């Protein structure tokens, strides 16, 4: 008999653990020690849990650009022309190799197995049992809940990205295993977390911040699990009896042994989601929605959340952040800001700033057509310029590629916003990133309430987010109900969370993925046709995208820009761009003295080109590069969906070793490869 974990993760998980360094950001594991020592004190126990955090960060997330979550929706896309890195993002998982995601799959099981083992060891301790009987949080009860929450998060990732998976075999010796219904797994995880969360510390209690699991985050995770269990998803129809007595409402065609569906008792899960998302708000502790900005140079509380990352601090809006350290080892620190930050053509080290790949690109028709005037989120979320790497600003090009090519980019992580930027080497800035923040929780709660018919409560929640976005109540929603309200909430989540890896899942859960995919592809096709025929395209809101714009390098006293509402100020509008003053560092090469870019014609084609030429502006390629690369945009924007009736196939293949050792009980569905 062999351990299942041999098949699932490729290594044996021993009963004894490896002692981890105290800093939970470091995944090293020195000598083996026995179980009694692992749980001899709370600090020793946390050393083992710290390995789980580090392994999750380094080996469970960033493969495939965080599972392609942030690059495969009707707002976000991958920038390169023919890369296979986005096959899952464009809904062509059938073209993936069977072991394409084996690293993430294996490491999720490794991590959850270790967390489950720690939880079991704690549960057997008389000290823990006495604390449970006393009924109030202690170090032991929190560590137990922390371990169970880590385990639940890993299984949540497995379900989202692989569908139905083996469950409950961790730290066991078995010679037989099979798939478990995702709905049974959700129920089990929810029950476990309900049991653990009352005796966990809230954020700010017991020395717990948002870089660790808390009661606050655990409550929210229960809500997420319930929403995903009750929402639409693509389920298998090729495994008889897999889902037991769960009944479904189906949408579209049943093809490739799968169909898009939602369980018929979904409202029971939305009630759970409502209860526990509200609990996350009630038990917020030291966290909460950032609604004020006390900075003298800016008034954008939305941006302030992201500025905390650039300041190397934990944001008070975060319920859970992935912690990073600056420089040194391990080498994969700050991969997220490198992969998804504001692009830079800088070199790998000693550049201003260093290279930023920029794997999230924003679909241009979304940027031009969906943000309302006055929305402070637009410029913070999306940028049209990047960095040369020599201290200068440059236009991003719509040509397929990476760094300065590939199109407009997310702007939420920008090395230029650090003080000072880390210029020694790429991928090592030390910036954290949020896995879940309070605005997301508030909008998920609004979603649950709208589904339950509590329209007024849902609108009040959405308006909290909109009042922050616009700085006043003039853009508040009112008098919406039913499907119109649900669509408004879905849209608000899109505007608030673009680039953060949620839109893909929101579309899946809403049941609208395929129809929204067809809609964005049609919108982009219409835009490209208009550009090709007329040199420009006008959106319903009056914004115009043109084949060419006009640009000029200019010198500003402060080359790092902030909010600006004056659209005629071509050096400052759009806002939140520019460059850090790298000349002050004296350690990197900076060229020229005019570091900022003035842009004319970005949203309006009614410009005096003769006047611009006389002022030194240069005609610059813009949307013409979309026209010239139309085939690439057609491929990279959800091309795996050809009809509103298509079931979205967003899963990665379960690796071959797990399939081959299962005696035929584990297979890949959805038309994915078996070997």
Residue 311 maps to a domain: no
Whole-angstrom distance, CA of residue 149 vs CA of residue 214: 9
DSSP summary character for residue 674: -
Residue 261 maps to a domain: no
Residue 275 maps to a domain: no
User: How many residues make up the chain in this entry?
Assistant: 675
Residue ranges making up the domain that contains 150: 1-58+104-180
pLDDT tens, position by position, 75-117: 999 999 999 999 999 999 999 999 999 999 999 999 999 999 9
Closest CA to 529 of 640, 383, 407, 634: 634
| Token output for 435 | 């896995």
pLDDT tens, position by position, 570-626: 999 999 999 999 999 999 999 999 999 999 999 999 999 999 999 999 999 999 999
Do the Cβ atoms of 670 and 94 come closer than 8 Å?
yes
pLDDT tens, position by position, 136-170: 999 999 999 999 999 999 999 999 999 999 999 99
Whole-angstrom distance, CA of residue 48 vs CA of residue 433: 23
Whole-angstrom distance, CA of residue 498 vs CA of residue 367: 10
Whole-angstrom distance, CA of residue 13 vs CA of residue 5: 7
Residue 160 maps to a domain: yes
Do the Cβ atoms of 602 and 384 come closer than 8 Å?
yes
Whole-angstrom distance, CA of residue 78 vs CA of residue 524: 15
Packing angle between helix 266-282 and helix 438-451, nearest 10 degrees?
140
Q: Mean pLDDT across the stretch 309-332?
A: 89
Do the Cβ atoms of 401 and 367 come closer than 8 Å?
no
- Compute the mean pLDDT over every residue in the chain, rounded to the nearest whole number: 93
Q: Is 92 exposed, middle or buried (0-12, 13-18, 19+ CB in 10 A)?
A: middle
What SS3 state is found at 469?
helix
Buried b (16+ CB within 10 A) or exposed e, 217-237: bbbbbbbbbbbbbbbbbbbbb
Q: Mean pLDDT across the stretch 487-498?
A: 98
pLDDT tens, position by position, 455-472: 999 999 999 999 999 999
| Token output for 544 | 């115009």
User: Terminal CA-to-CA distance of the chain, rounded, Å?
Assistant: 24
Return the percentage of the chain with pLDDT > 90, whole number: 91
CA 138 to centroid of chain Cα atoms: 32
Do the Cβ atoms of 495 and 462 come closer than 8 Å?
no
pLDDT in the model for residue 526: 98
Whole-angstrom distance, CA of residue 343 vs CA of residue 198: 43
Residue 240 pLDDT more than 80? yes
Query: 55 phi and psi, to 5 degrees?
Result: -70, -35
Residue 49 maps to a domain: yes
Residue 8 pLDDT more than 90? no
Whole-angstrom distance, CA of residue 70 vs CA of residue 505: 10
Whole-angstrom distance, CA of residue 211 vs CA of residue 208: 8
Q: Which strand (E) or helix (H) includes residue 301?
A: helix 301-310
pLDDT in the model for residue 332: 65
Residue 227 pLDDT more than 60? yes
Residue 457 maps to a domain: no
- Which residues, other chains included, contact 424 with Cβ-Cβ below 8 Å and sequence gap of 6+? 327, 349, 350, 354
Task: Find the largest Cα–Cα distance for the chain.
Answer: 83
Token pair 């006389």: residue: 614
Do the Cβ atoms of 3 and 13 come closer than 8 Å?
yes
pLDDT in the model for residue 35: 83
Token pair 């009860």: residue: 141
Q: Mean pLDDT across the stretch 507-530?
A: 98
Closest CA to 46 of 94, 113, 118: 118
Give, in order, the Cα–Cα distances in Å from 461 to each of 190, 331, 445, 468, 473: 24, 41, 8, 12, 13
Q: Mean pLDDT across the stretch 281-290?
A: 98
Closest CA to 551 of 397, 375, 360: 397
- CATH assignment of the domain containing 125: 1.25.40
| Token output for 190 | 């929810």
Residue 570 maps to a domain: no
Closest CA to 381 of 522, 541, 250, 494: 494
Closest CA to 413 of 291, 327, 322, 489: 322
Q: Mean pLDDT across the stretch 495-510?
A: 98
* Number of domains within the chain: 1
Torsion of CA 116, 118, 122, 123, to 10 degrees: 10
Residue of 321 and 176 predicted with greater confidence: 321
Do the Cβ atoms of 305 and 290 come closer than 8 Å?
yes
Residue 500 maps to a domain: no
pLDDT tens, position by position, 24-42: 333 333 333 478 888 899 9
Q: Mean pLDDT across the stretch 279-297?
A: 97
pTM equals 0.95
Q: Mean pLDDT across the stretch 349-355?
A: 97
| Token output for 10 | 């490729």
pLDDT tens, position by position, 532-549: 999 999 999 999 999 999
DSSP summary character for residue 652: P
Q: How confident is the model at residue 63 (pLDDT cuts 50, 70, 90)?
A: confident
Q: Is 356 exposed, middle or buried (0-12, 13-18, 19+ CB in 10 A)?
A: buried
Alpha helices in 84-181 (DSSP H): 102-123, 126-134, 139-162
Packing angle between helix 482-497 and helix 438-451, nearest 10 degrees?
170
Residue 9 pLDDT more than 80? no
pLDDT tens, position by position, 435-444: 999 999 999 9
Do the Cβ atoms of 89 and 503 come closer than 8 Å?
no
Whole-angstrom distance, CA of residue 399 vs CA of residue 627: 10
Preceding omega of 574 cis (within 30 degrees of 0) = yes
């Amino acid at each position: 008999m062999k351990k299942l974990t041999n098949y699932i993760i490729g290594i044996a998980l021993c009963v004894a653990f490896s002692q981890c360094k105290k800093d939970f950001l470091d995944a090293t594991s020195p000598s083996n020690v026995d179980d009694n020592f692992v749980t001899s004190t709370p600090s020793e126990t946390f050393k083992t849990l710290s390995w789980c955090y580090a392994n999750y960060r380094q080996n469970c997330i960033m493969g495939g650009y965080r599972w392609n979550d942030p690059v495969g929706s009707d707002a976000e896309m991958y920038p390169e022309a023919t890369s296979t890195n986005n096959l899952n993002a464009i809904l062509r998982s059938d073209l993936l190799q069977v072991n394409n995601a084996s690293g993430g799959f294996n490491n999720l099981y490794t991590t959850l197995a270790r967390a489950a083992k720690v939880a079991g060891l704690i549960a057997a301790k008389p000290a823990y049992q006495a604390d449970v009987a006393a009924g109030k949080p202690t170090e032991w009860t929190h560590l137990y809940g922390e371990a169970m929450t880590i385990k639940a998060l890993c299984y949540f990732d497995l379900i989202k990205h692989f569908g139905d998976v083996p469950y409950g075999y961790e730290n066991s010796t078995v010679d037989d295993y099979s798939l478990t219904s995702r709905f049974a797994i959700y129920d089990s995880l929810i029950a476990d977390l309900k049991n653990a969360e009352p005796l966990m510390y809230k954020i700010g209690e017991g020395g717990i911040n948002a870089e660790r699991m808390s009661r606050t985050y655990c409550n929210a995770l229960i809500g997420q699990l319930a929403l995903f269990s009750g929402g639409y998803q693509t389920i298998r129809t090729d495994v008889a009896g897999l889902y037991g007595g769960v009944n479904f409402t189906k949408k579209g065609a049943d093809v490739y042994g799968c169909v898009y569906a939602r369980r018929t008792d979904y409202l029971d899960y939305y009630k759970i989601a409502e209860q526990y998302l509200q609990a996350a708000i009630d038990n917020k502790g030291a966290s909460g929605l950032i609604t004020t900005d006390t900075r003298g140079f800016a008034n954008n509380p939305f941006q302030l959340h992201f500025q905390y990352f650039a300041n190397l601090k934990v944001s008070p809006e975060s319920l859970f952040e992935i912690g990073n350290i600056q420089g040194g080892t391990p080498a994969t620190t700050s991969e997220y800001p490198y992969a998804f930050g504001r692009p830079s053509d800088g070199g790998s080290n000693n550049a201003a700033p260093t290279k930023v790949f920029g794997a999230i690109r924003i679909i241009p028709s979304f940027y031009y057509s969906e943000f309302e005037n006055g929305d402070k989120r637009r410029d913070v979320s999306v940028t049209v310029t990047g960095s040369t790497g020599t201290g200068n600003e440059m236009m991003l090009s719509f040509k397929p590629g990476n760094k300065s090519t590939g199109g407009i980019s997310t702007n939420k992580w920008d090395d230029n916003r650090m003080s000072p930027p880390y210029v020694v080497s790429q991928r090592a800035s030390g910036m954290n990133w949020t896995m879940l923040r309070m605005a997301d929780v508030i909008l998920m709660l609004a979603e649950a309430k709208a589904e339950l018919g509590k329209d007024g409560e849902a609108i009040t929640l959405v308006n909290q987010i909109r009042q922050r976005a616009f700085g006043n109540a003039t853009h508040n929603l009112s008098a919406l109900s039913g499907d119109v309200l649900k669509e408004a909430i879905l849209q608000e989540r899109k505007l608030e969370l673009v680039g953060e890896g949620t839109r893909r899942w929101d579309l899946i859960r809403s049941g609208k993925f395929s129809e929204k995919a067809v809609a964005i592809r049609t919108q982009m096709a219409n835009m490209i046709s208009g550009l090709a025929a007329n040199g420009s395209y006008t959106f319903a809101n009056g914004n115009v995208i043109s084949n060419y714009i006009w640009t000029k390098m200019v010198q500003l006293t402060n080359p790092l820009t902030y909010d600006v509402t004056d659209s005629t100020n071509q050096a400052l509008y759009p806002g939140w761009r520019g460059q850090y003053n790298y000349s002050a560092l004296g350690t990197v090469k900076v060229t020229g003295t005019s570091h900022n870019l003035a842009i004319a014609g970005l949203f309006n084609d009614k410009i005096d080109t003769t006047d611009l030429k006389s002022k030194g502006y240069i005609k610059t390629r813009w949307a013409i590069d979309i026209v010239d690369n139309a085939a690439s945009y057609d491929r990279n924007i959800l091309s795996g969906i050809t009809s509103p009736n298509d079931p979205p196939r967003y899963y990665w293949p379960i690796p071959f070793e797990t399939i081959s050792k299962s005696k035929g009980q584990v297979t890949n569905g959805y038309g994915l490869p078996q070997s």
